[in-house]
Homo-oligomer: A and B are copies of this chain.
Amino acid sequence: MRLEDLPGRPCSVAAALNLIGEKWSLLAVREIAFGNKRFDAIARNTGAPRDRLAARLRALEAAGVITRRRYSEHPPRYEYELTEAGRELRGVLTALRAWGDKWAIDAPPPTAFEHGCGHDLDPVMTCRHCGEEIDPDDLRVRVTATGWTRQGPLPRADPAR
């Protein structure tokens, strides 16, 4: 993706959404990550219309997020797998799931994961360098294409309101 081809601020978030931001794309990735490799299972578990799903799977393949492998000739049958890029998308899914658990549903989380350490997964974003939990209020913009964002600290939560 060429950043210049995106409207607005040159930004990896926009570039990422260009690849995986269409409706059903991330849910398809979720299903494949769950081990559901086949078209029918992905369609059933996401609820996506079959024609839209077919289009999304092609786009995800073109984006390098999944591969399509024929496991039968006559009739041709395919299964989908995550590429390295697709596998790394699971982190995005984890962040989204954590947010959704907290803010998008009123019931307890419908899906939980057990981490290798034996406890239920409770993900935290940390700084690889210092190991501390990342407080987004504690970040400064360091580099951007000129003209798009002034350098300096990001706005903080305003405790007055």
Contact between chains at B45 and A148 (CB < 8 Å): yes
Contact between chains at A124 and B121 (CB < 8 Å): no
Does A92 lie at the interface of the complex (its beta carbon under 8 Å from any beta carbon of B)? yes
- Determine which of B27, B103, B121 lies in contact with A127 in the assembled complex, contact meaning CB atoms within 8 Å: B121
- Determine which of B8, B91, B125 lies in contact with A99 in the assembled complex, contact meaning CB atoms within 8 Å: B91
Q: A31 contacts which chain B residues (CB < 8 A)?
A: 9
Number of copies: 2
Write 19 A-B pairs (CB below 8 A) sorted by A numbering: A2-B107, A8-B45, A8-B47, A8-B48, A11-B111, A12-B96, A33-B155, A85-B103, A110-B145, A112-B141, A113-B139, A114-B142, A115-B127, A116-B132, A120-B142, A123-B126, A123-B128, A125-B125, A125-B126
Residues of A within 8 A of B (CB): 1-3, 6-19, 21, 23, 26-27, 30-31, 33-35, 44-48, 64-65, 81-82, 85, 87-107, 109-117, 119-132, 134-136, 138-145, 148-149, 154-155, 157-158, 161
